[in-house]
Structure 1
Amino acid sequence: MTTSTPPREIPREVLDVITPESQRLVLDRRGSTVWHVTAANRATEETAAYAVKVGYASETHAHTALAPSREAYVLRTLRPDVIRDGEWGQGTWNIQPWHPGPSLYEKWEPCRSAKRSALPDVLDALSCTEALSELHRVGWVHGDVQPAHLIVGQQGVTLIDLALARGRTVPERYDFAYRGCLVHYEAPEISRSVLETGTAVPTRASDVYALGASLMISATGWRHVAYPDDAPRDVQRQAIVDGPHRPVTIPGELGQLVNAMLMPSPADRPTAAEACEALCLAL
């Protein structure tokens, strides 16, 4: 697939599957567009909300053309009855349920306000960790844990955007190499491998590190490692490799746990299940 331009409308191939009653573009960047769509469920005729993801090859992210179908495959191993996907002229697409609720970063905004009007909610942190622990339990590593991918709903936290997940076999036609994630949440071993080889292998331990970095930035507004905002990615990654991480200023047991999750050595970090146990004791 060659470099192409983002779709300005939902492709016809998707509209053959879903008939929107309303649609709103919510993301358009780096080879991916996402629409919030309401449509009647053709089985129940009840209106429901969906996320429609359409991938295309950008200049910097060629793999994003395949990402929606790759994610659909991962999701079907978790929720087999709710995902549709296919191909269009410039890439692939998927349709999945829309998960309502704020991201963790949005939910914890009062913690970062000038008045620091709230403390991080340990129950939210537990729900995030439980979602990651369950993913690990069924054999997947997320590979792209970040606050925007932790949706705090009424029934708990949903971990979204699994296109980079690793751990189980994915059809070769939709697979691609892992070249790191959003650098703000990369573990040192991931950044080091990407710098040295161009690729990396995400692990449960690197997921735990990313969750710790997500909890830290959501609670404090600070990235886990200091580097200039406009620094090139290789400079950012080198800063993560060189360390150390910023001091964790979250009070109490949650802060102690986040500090442990950000240990430089993967072997020194708790597992997601162990983190759940620690947070349960902190409630």
Structure 2
Amino acid sequence: MGTFTSEAAAALTAAEAVCGPFELEEINNRRGSAVWKASGPQGVASIKLGTGDAAEVTAREAAVLDQLPEYTVTVGRFADGVWYVTPWQAGPSTWDVFRSVRKGVGGKAEALAAAVGLCRAVEDLHEAGWVHGDLQPQHGIHTEQGVRLLDFAWSRPLGTTPWTTFDGTMIHLTAPELAARIINGPQPVETTQTADVYALAGTLWTGVTGTWPLDYETAGLGRGTPLDVLRKAIAHRAVPLSTTMPWPSLQARLRHVLLAAPDDRPTAAELTRLVKAADA
């Protein structure tokens, strides 16, 4: 584990305002972005530091959090970086909630309720005029107050493009039309609500099976396949969907979303209703 930089001491002061005297734990640190958890008698806070290229991304994410009513954030700058502090979202991720389903030991009722909750969180974000841009199994936290989404670095209000270049996020959950735009340009490529719905369906599929929705092995794309090769195959729909179907009632609905053309893809609100109707 690393050492918290003294240059961002103001972030610790902001965290103490949330938590009181706290203990600090590093959660992750990669590619210039570090997340720390501050735990104290008054609460728990997340401290995110971005340096180098990650500084702009961190600042952008803080700006999104500041505009969403369910979140509070304090932000500042240090040396070559940006920090922000926000209350910790306590609860299991969507990936965690589906663990019993993946193990085949039950848990479908709980998982289905979580899936509906995640869909509603995305539905609410979309109805408020936003695109998330990076939905993944770990980016929905199921709290006592409802589902809270995480990782808003590639989120945007409709009608704005707050970046100059978008090269994609999780390739395995990238909608084909978005992959094609990344390949063909022009930049800046905009994330879309329809691509969010594709990623949302893929997130739930992955929660059920433990594997990505696309069957790379059948397409001859093994481990170590370069990212640009994967992206081109996805853009051309050259990778079939997996045939692993341990939960047919739910996965048939997700399969419909993943195979649909963008204009035929359900909205997040429609997907909420589809998922809710699945058998537990």
| TM-score, length of structure 2 as denominator length | 0.85
**Matching residue of 2:255:** 259
- Distance across 2 between alignment mates of 1:199 and 1:224: 27
Q: Which of 207, 213, 232 pairs up with 1:218?
A: 207
Cα deviation digits, residues 1-27 of structure 1 (max 9, x gap) = xxxxx9731522313433351111101
Q: Give matches, 1:71-220, under 5 Å.
A: 71-79=61-69, 82-113=72-103, 116-118=104-106, 120=108, 121-168=111-158, 175-197=163-185, 200-220=189-209
Cα deviation for residue 55 of structure 1 reads: 0.7
CA contact (8 A) 1:260 1:270 kept: no
Cα deviation for residue 119 of structure 1 reads: 5.4
- Distance across 2 between alignment mates of 1:212 and 1:50: 30
**Matching residue of 1:238:** 232
- 2:58 is paired with a residue whose SS is helix
Specify the code of the residue in structure 2 equivalent to 1:211.
Answer: L
Query: For residues 282 and 112 of structure 1, do their structure 2 counterparts lie closer, same or farther at Cα, with a shift above 3 Å needed?
Result: closer
Cα deviation digits, residues 18-41 of structure 1 (max 9, x gap) = 3351111101112210001124xx
CA contact (8 A) 1:70 1:170 kept: no
- 2:242 is paired with a residue whose SS is coil
Q: Does 1:22 align with 2:19?
A: no
CA contact (8 A) 2:71 2:86 kept: no
CA contact (8 A) 1:188 1:264 kept: no
- Distance across 2 between alignment mates of 1:212 and 1:250: 16
- 1:262 is paired with a residue whose SS is helix
Cα deviation for residue 246 of structure 1 reads: 2.1
- 2:138 is paired with a residue whose SS is helix
- Distance across 1 between alignment mates of 2:100 and 2:261: 32
**Matching residue of 2:43:** 48
Cα deviation for residue 106 of structure 1 reads: 1.8
Cα deviation for residue 132 of structure 1 reads: 0.3
Point out the more displaced range, 25-34 or 250-259. 250-259
Cα deviation for residue 146 of structure 1 reads: 0.2
Cα deviation for residue 195 of structure 1 reads: 2.2
Cα deviation for residue 167 of structure 1 reads: 2.5
Gaps of 5+ in 1: 1-5, 40-45
Number of residue equivalences: 263
Specify the code of the residue in structure 1 equivalent to 2:32.
Answer: G
After TM superposition, what 4+ stretches of structure 1 lie above 6 angstroms from structure 2? 169-172
| TM-score, length of structure 1 as denominator length | 0.84
Identity %: 30
- 1:261 is paired with a residue whose SS is helix
Cα deviation digits, residues 165-202 of structure 1 (max 9, x gap) = 02257796xx4532211112111112122223365321
- 2:156 is paired with a residue whose SS is coil
